[in-house]
Chains A and B, each alone.
Chain A
Amino acid sequence: MVTPVLQIEDLAVEFTTPEGVLRAVDGVSYSVDAGETLAVVGETGSGKSVTVLAALGLLDAGRIVSGRVMFDGLDLLRLPDKKLRRLLGSNLTMVFQNPMSALNPVMTVGRQVAETLVVHDRKLTNKGARGRAIELLALVGVPQPDVRFNQYPHEFSGGMCQRVVIAMAIANNPRVIIADEPTTAVDVTVQAQLLDLLQVAREETGAGVVLITHDLGVVAEVADRVAVMYAGRVVETAPVRNIFRAPQHPYTVGLLSCLPRLDSTVEELVPIPGSPANLLIRSPGCAFQPRCGLSADRDICTSDRPELAAAAADSAAAGSWAACHFADETTAWSAREHLVREPS
């Protein structure tokens, strides 16, 4: 059995806002194995970014209320700042959503890549770092890397900037790469190339990859496992084929029905009814209940918060975990719903 390379356990993060205390992350647990890609999906505001930023100590506002983030036998949340900083950029690296603003506008691209190498290897000379940085730029597909080394981010396109960010993320042979919507802000035509690059990086380094994305098409293509987040909680986690074949949480079903499918006769996309949960109001029950078609106003949904539970080993969803009181009804319910949705 593989032990996870990064394990987030029961993480909770709060922000104090003028309207009150907002619990953006509410007891999130997920883990990623070496060499595996875990996709984290969920609509905007569900806490995907805050979870990983908090895990790496990169949150500049907010308060971590509880949890552990285990890496290499260490709890990152209780590590002194200096020690944590030494792990960042070497063992644990990040790729951010907006590549144009993720690079320092007044520093050459090459120096920024070289810096990643130098801060983790004091013995490296400037010349050595420059050579390695140029190699890395070439590796991620930046043309004419020795010329590009001396250029500034504004001379790069968004896709090229993201390649540079990926170069920095793989520079020191990371064991975990966290990519927060790495392709959202770039041109559609380069999205696939960047995803390929991440896949190659994963294979080369053997790192575990946490890929945060909105795009279920991307999930289908690159993920091994999926964690679905809703209102600051993981509501379902499952191997990728289960997610598409036998989703166990009504919210996952909702996400899938938003996805246009080439092989389906459904012509309309069905958006999830209702609006995203208000994180300021914490109900004792399931946060998805007000929008849930399966709940049918059953009392337990509003009174008890469902915890992640494993699907039956003999079912189609074996290996899935879902946080729903009626997860065992989901398959039948969604089949029924699909009949209703078929164009008449």
Chain B
Amino acid sequence: MGSYVIRRFLQFIPVVILASIAVWAIVYAVPGSPAAALAGENATPETVAAIEERLGLNRPVIVQYFTWIGQAIHLDFGNSAINGQPVMEQLSSRIPASLQLALFAMVIGLVLAFPMGVVAAVKPRSIATKVINLYQAVALAVPTFWVGILLIIGLSVKNQVFPAISNYVSIWSDPIGAIRNTLLPALCLGIYISGIIARFITASLRDALGQDYVRTARAKGVPEGAVISRHAMRNAMLPTVTIVGLMIGEFLGGTVVTEVVFSYPGLGRMIYSGITARDYPIIQAAVLFTILAFLVINLLVDVLYAFLDPRVRLS
């Protein structure tokens, strides 16, 4: 197990190198020179040159990359091109915010999805299943920003139960405040993913319930509840773990639309404002973190998968 994890980490290295090159090259993907973009439309060539000098953009490309990566390894992503603040400072306040939102959303998503997925699989012809299918269709079809706006209008503007602008309050320092601030955006995301996750649970549980080992369990006299939970569910969890892991990975990179709608200070909004302001040190750092987070989550999913499925060998 340990050696497997180490090997997987080593496999990260080429991926991370490629990713870092791509991320770093973002600067050059912007049409025109980044310095000119930063300087604005009416800037004199001298101003542009000064910005280039300040940001090191006049040095050879290779040198620029190695300088950047050398600093990035030491968690130094330079300073914001807009306000001159260290990027790492912003990043380190945004990451916990996005993490908290992601986990809240995932808890809500799972709590909603689990019973729906199980009921739809176990009683496919019931009225409850028809209602669940309808809910899923709506949850998937309605854009999250629209749900967000509805939630804000209903619960913040009209009833003032929740703040319309969600700040990041750590769950550790102020649980009530954290829930008040994080619940609406988390609900928004949670509803959306509950539709997807429930479908996964239904499909894989239905599949598992048709397998021979479920018939064996019934023939052994195992009560139906235990047949579902002990035998079918454990097998059905395998595909579900994968999709849940992928979603957490995606959320860790920030959820741009939801964070913007709720003015939530997460990575997504940081990327969003970084892009609009062409503040590329910010974009680079945020995207690199997103990629790393995704890789780590993927590894965790694989380890968990191997833990759940003895047929997967880790050696």
- Interface of A toward B, CB cutoff 8 Å: 56, 58, 60, 81-82, 85-90, 93-94, 96, 98, 101-107, 115-116, 119-120, 152, 154, 165, 168
Contact = CB atoms under 8 A, between A and B. Distances in A.
A105 B213 contact: yes
Given A105-B309, A152-B311, A93 B231 contact: no
A88 B216 CA distance: 10
Contacts of A94: 216, 219
A120 B226 CA distance: 13
Contacts of A168: 216, 220
B308 interface: yes
Contacts of A116: 220-221
Q: Which residue, A56, A88, A98, has most C-beta atoms of chain B within 10 A?
A: A88
Contacts of A58: 215, 218-219
Contact of A81 (B219, B224, B226): B224
Contact of A88 (B220, B230, B234, B235): B220
Given A102-B212, A152-B311, A93 B235 contact: no
B14 interface: no
Q: Which residue, B220, B222, B234, has most C-beta atoms of chain A within 10 A?
A: B220
Contacts of A107: 230-231, 234
Contacts of B231: 104, 107
B309 A85 contact: no
A229 B7 CA distance: 58
Given A86-B221, A165-B216, A106 B211 contact: no
Shortest 8 CB-CB contacts between residues of A and residues of B: A89-B221, A89-B220, A101-B212, A104-B213, A152-B310, A88-B221, A94-B219, A102-B216
Question: What is the predominant secondary structure among interface residues of chain B facing chain A?
Answer: helix
Nearest to A85: B221
Nearest to A101: B212
A105 B235 contact: yes
B241 to A, nearest CB: 12
A118 B230 CA distance: 14
B257 interface: no
Contacts of A119: 220-223, 226
Given A101-B212, A106-B308, A106-B309, A90 B221 contact: yes
B210 interface: yes
B308 A96 contact: no
Contacts of B309: 105-106
Interface string B294-306: 0000000000000
Given A85-B224, A105-B235, A106-B234, A56 B219 contact: yes
Interface string B163-202: 0000000000000000000000000000000000000000
Given A82-B223, A107-B231, 8 more contacts: A60-B210, A85-B218, A104-B216, A107-B234, A119-B226, A152-B311, A154-B311, A168-B220
A106 B221 contact: no
Interface residues of B, number: 24
B91 interface: no
Nearest to B210: A60
A301 B222 CA distance: 46
A82 B222 CA distance: 10
B223 A102 contact: no
22 contacts: A56-B219, A58-B215, A85-B223, A85-B224, A88-B218, A89-B219, A89-B220, A96-B212, A102-B212, A103-B213, A103-B216, A104-B213, A104-B217, A105-B213, A105-B309, A105-B310, A107-B234, A115-B217, A119-B221, A119-B226, A152-B311, A154-B311
Interface string B231-261: 1001100000000000000000000000000
A93 B217 CA distance: 11
Contacts of B230: 107, 115
Contacts of A81: 224
A86 B219 CA distance: 10
A180 to B, nearest CB: 10
Interface string B241-285: 000000000000000000000000000000000000000000000
Contacts of A103: 213, 216
A101 B211 contact: yes
Contacts of A98: 212
Nearest to A84: B221
Q: Which residue, A58, A85, A101, has most C-beta atoms of chain B within 10 A?
A: A85
Nearest to A61: B210
B214 to A, nearest CB: 8
Nearest to B310: A152
Nearest to A82: B223
B221 A104 contact: no
Nearest to A154: B311
A89 B218 CA distance: 8
Contacts of A93: 219-220
Contacts of A120: 221
Contacts of B310: 105-106, 152, 154
Q: Which residue, B219, B231, B310, has most C-beta atoms of chain A within 10 A?
A: B219
A86 B221 CA distance: 6
Contacts of B213: 101-105
Contacts of A60: 209-210, 215
Nearest to B212: A101
